[in-house]
Amino acid sequence: MKTYAMMVLGCKVNDYEATYVRENMNRYFEEVNFKEKADIYLIFTCCVTNTAEAKTRKFIHDARRNNPDSFITAIGCLSQIKSGSEVFNDVDLIIGSDHKDQIVDLILKETKENYVSKEISKDFEHLYIESYAHKSRSFLKIQDGCNQFCSYCIIPYARGRERSADHHKIIEEAKVLSKINQEIVLTGIHTGRYNDGEYDLYHLLKDLCEIEDLKTIRLSSIEITEISDEIIQLMKTNEKLAHHLHIPVQSCDDKILELMNRPYTIEDFKNRVAYIRQEIPDISISTDLIVAFPQEDEVSFERTKKNLKEIAFSFIHVFPYSRKSGTRADSMEGHLDPKIKKARVKAVMDLEKKITADFRKKFIGQNVKVLIERNDDNSSYGYCRQYFYVKIPEILKIGEIYDVSIKEADDEVIGICC
């Protein structure tokens, strides 16, 4: 049997799409580690940062070095926006944002072609997955594309305009996946904008909560402007919805938010977060933050730090601004020195340590539900529904959800099964 190897860069949407391809590849080929010699290599690309592009180049080079006669396929966002560039000179098959449902057939036919559509489809390409057995939770893609066009972001050009999966198909797939994993993470490029013409995100969540085998539903990411009162009330009253929202703020300074083309002020953001916490006191709210954006002076950065302290996110994914050709931010004035970028990332990470520690300590003496992901040294580990990592000093079944009482929350959060 011929072998294949897969490398997945980027987001949860890529992970979902790669899982679909893997499920179908396994019908014809045997999977091996990407570092090994394989007959076929598949690389799911990302274009969000220059680092992601550099990694794509490296993995293409590694694949060809591992087996000069191999069939190499590059898939996804970087393929879509740079399919004709020298990045893909050594690639046999190039797939962009469309045609992922055809990948395996094209590989079986050994189709050597730039298969990227210049015009990205306006229809949602549904990729049905029957198992997410290689992980303790399942991802389920419900939406694709973005209409926001933030000034730093290339994704609308790589993924196309917003489109949503039919809610009947989502519910059908969720019922199958819930037989394998008790937790499902709903994901998309702009998840909060889900709308298939009949159902919006609230109505989809409401129906998913009725699936008996499904114990936890988590949203991968959602914008502050898309969290309706209905969603908050459903989360408040239905224990299946995880008390965690990942809400990208990107900057905590109004001047920079305007330059980024973000659709809110920092006061709007803080007021909405306050309402959410009022309704769900134990909720975890995490975020993404870009520092050293063009024209972010010391005053803007100090405002961001001050507002970060006030908002007190449960954790922060902080990134230095990375230039991306084709975006409006790339041509802006006031790009900052890499040393400033590095220093500001460190400043936010230092600030986050205390904020994160204070958040976790609030749970000492409280019970949380933990999905067990791994066992090691007579202990079990997993994320609770508020999405912080918990250690339980006994061996528990991987993939199961347990009620756990938090006993300690310093560098490590330790809980005891109730």
Question: Residue 341 belongs to a domain with what CATH number?
Answer: 3.80.30.20
Decide if 143 contacts 12 (C-beta within 8 A). Answer: no
CA angle 193, 195, 201 (to 5 degrees): 70
**What is the pLDDT, as a whole number, of residue 132?**
79
Q: Please, what is the end-to-end C-alpha distance for the chain in angstroms?
A: 48
- Say if 216 falls within a structural domain: yes
C-alpha to C-alpha distance for 308 and 317, rounded to whole angstroms: 12
Q: Are residues 372 and 343 in the same domain?
A: no
For residue 121, tell me if it sits in a domain. Answer: no
Task: Decide: helix, strand or coil at residue 200.
Answer: strand
On whether both 353 and 256 belong to a single domain, the answer is yes
**CA distance linking residue 418 with residue 416, whole number of Å:** 6
Q: Which of 5, 138, 109, 121 is nearest to 59 (CA)?
A: 5
Based on the domain organization, do 78 and 143 belong to the same domain?
Answer: no
CA 177/CA 182 separation, integer angstroms: 8
Nearest C-alpha neighbor of 166 from the set 212, 198, 213, 134: 198
CA–CA dist 8, 289 (Å, integer): 23
394 contacts 209 by C-beta, under 8 angstroms: no
pTM: 0.94
Q: Give the pLDDT confidence score for residue 385 in this predicted structure.
A: 95
pLDDT for the residue 411: 84
Q: How far apart are CA 159 and CA 13, in angstroms?
A: 11
By three-state DSSP, how is residue 106 classified?
A: helix
Q: Which pLDDT value is given to residue 226? A: 96
Spatial CA neighbour of 273 closest among 243, 220, 313: 313
How many whole angstroms separate alpha carbon 103 and alpha carbon 97? Answer: 12
Q: Quick count: other Cβ atoms within 10 Å of Cβ 50?
A: 12
Q: What is the pLDDT of residue 200?
A: 98
* Cβ 386 vs Cβ 244: under 8 Å: yes
Ranges in the chain, pLDDT < 70 = none
H or E stretch at 317: strand 316-320
Residue 249 lies in domain: 138-361
Alpha helices (runs of H) in 37-185, residue ranges in sequence order: 50-66, 77-82, 103-108, 155-159, 167-177
- CA 392, CA 411: separation in Å to the nearest integer? 14
Kindly state whether residue 122 falls inside one of the protein's structural domains. no
Query: In a 10 Å sphere around its CB, with 0-12 CB exposed, 13-18 middle and 19+ buried, how is residue 375 labelled?
Result: middle
> Based on the domain organization, do 269 and 344 belong to the same domain?
yes
Statement to judge: residues 356 and 374 lie in one domain: no
Residue 131 lies in a domain: no
Looking at residue 51, its pLDDT comes to: 85
Q: Are 138 and 253 in contact (CB under 8 A)?
A: no
CA dist 298 to 23, 44, 342, Å? Answer: 50, 38, 14
In a domain, residue 108? The reply is yes
**294 in the same domain as 163:** yes
CATH number of the domain residue 383 falls in: 2.40.50.140
Distances (CA, A) of 104 to 22, 66, 88: 9, 21, 19
Q: Report the CATH number that the domain containing residue 80 is assigned in CATH.
A: 3.40.50.2300
pLDDT of residue 130: 86
Task: Give me the count of residues in the chain.
Answer: 418
Output the CA–CA distances (angstroms, integers) from residue 161 to 18, 92, 110, 194, in the order listed: 21, 28, 31, 12
Q: Is 57 a member of any domain? A: yes
Q: How many domains does the chain divide into? A: 3
| Geometric angle at alpha carbon 183, from 182 and 189, rounded to 5° | 150
pLDDT at 320: 95
CA pair distance 355, 347, nearest whole angstrom: 13
Give yes or no for a contact between 216 and 170, defined as CB atoms under 8 angstroms apart. no
Q: Which residues pair with 183 in a beta bridge?
A: 216
Nearest residue to 356 (alpha-carbon basis) of 395, 292, 281, 413:
413
Residue 50: inside a domain = yes
Strands, E, within 209-275: which ranges? 216-219, 244-246
